[in-house]
Amino acid sequence: MTRALVVYESVFGNGRTIAHAIADGLSGALPVDVVAADGAPAELGPDVGLLVVGGPNHGFSMPRPATRQGAVDQHGAHVADTDRGLHEWLDAVRVPRAGIRAAAYDTRSDHPKLLVRMDHAARTEEKLLRGLGLTILAPAEHFSVTDVEGPLADGEEDRAREWGATLARALATAPVHH
């Protein structure tokens, strides 16, 4: 049976909560695995039909070593290895076959609202997904935190669960590519 894989990067845990809520929403329709990017497989399993990736906005884009170090220095964050995260995983992961669907999300501060329209980290995630030959299943989604370290804004976990269910429905009706 086709499985979904959710790969996330999360410095303070907000994006991890979102990843698990998305997985929860998907799990009514298909089996789902959730892994942090620094522990994600080097190659997608042959049964993975949907890859969902997400992480925080750091300096208007995806986290990179210097911004992870900034989170450690300025916020006392615990980051196991500042050189490894979602971008680095997407740069290296092997994709065994064509036709795999993908979707991206990011987390971001809920002010200024302008950021929501600028679409930074998720846009880069989608670019990397396309570069791997994956087909974007649905537009990227953005989830808000109320401050750098969180918590998530009210209702975001529920919205993530619903987005997971929406992705599962889209996957069920998407034409199959071989």
Ligand X SMILES: Cc1cc2nc3c(=O)[nH]c(=O)nc-3n(C[C@H](O)[C@H](O)[C@H](O)COP(=O)(O)O)c2cc1C
Binding site for ligand X (CB under 6 A): 10-15, 56-60, 67, 70-71, 75, 107-109, 115, 145, 148, 150
Inter-residue contact 104 to 122 (CB < 8 Å): yes
Query: In angstroms, what is the minimal distance from the CB of 119 to ligand X?
Result: 11
Distance from C-alpha of 137 to C-alpha of 2, rounded to nearest angstrom: 15
Structure tokens at 167: 């992705």
Residue number, 51 or 86, with CB nearest to ligand X: 86
Work out how close the CB of 152 gets to ligand X at its nearest, in angstroms, rounded to a whole number.
8
Contact 51, 44 (CB under 8 A): yes
88 Cβ partners below 8 Å, 6+ apart?
37
49 versus 56: smaller Cβ distance to ligand X: 56
Nearer to ligand X, 143 or 171 (CB): 143
Shortest approach of ligand X to residue 124 CB, angstroms?
12
